[in-house]
Amino acid sequence: MNKKILNLGSGYDKIPKTISIDIRPETKPNIVLDLEKDKLPFRDDSVDEIIMNEFLEHIKNISHALKECYRVLKPKGLVKITVPYHGKLQNIWFSLFLFEYVFDPLGDHIRFFTPGSLEITLRTHGLKVKKMELTNTRFWFFHEHILVEAIKS
């Protein structure tokens, strides 16, 4: 049985056996779509898995995108998400020494997540977190990403 797997905000990162969806035609996705306002072109409860690698921090209308994910996911369908995460110590460092660079209002990253804020956001949109991990740099106290697996509840 072939699983239907979406790669949302795929950019140039194509994952084999997935349907890539991105707003930028130059990345050559399978589907060009604005996930902040457009509906995913799939029936309700028809998608097995959705991958969002380094995507949620780039969009303003996160609620629309997550509602669409919930709509098209099959019951108990899986969502895999990665977002950048700096951790408390790194955020203090950034705030003191690199604030203008990291929190550039014209930069690509318009949202910043903590493990708690990401879990609340997903739960608010009907997704139950099953697994959450923080990845580290070579320094144990500096984090790089939050990795999440959630299911449609």
At 136 the pLDDT is 72
148 — phi, psi (to 5°)? -130, 140
Contacts with 141 (C-beta within 8 Å, 6 or more apart), sequence order: 87, 89, 90
pLDDT at 10: 95
List the domain boundaries for the chain. Answer: 5-152
CA nearest 40: which of 68, 7, 80?
68
Q: Given this model, what pLDDT does residue 51 score? A: 98
| pLDDT for 145 | 87
Homologous superfamily assigned to 5-152: Vaccinia Virus protein VP39 (3.40.50.150)
Q: Which two tokens stand for residue 4?
A: 């239907």
pTM of the model: 0.86
pLDDT of the chain, 153 residues: tens digit per residue: 689 999 999 999 899 999 999 999 999 999 999 999 999 999 999 999 999 999 999 898 999 999 999 999 999 999 999 998 877 666 676 677 676 666 666 666 677 888 999 999 999 999 999 999 988 765 555 568 899 999 998
- The pLDDT assigned to 3 comes to 95
CA-to-CA dists, residue 49 to 14, 46, 70, 91, 104, angstroms? 15, 10, 11, 32, 33
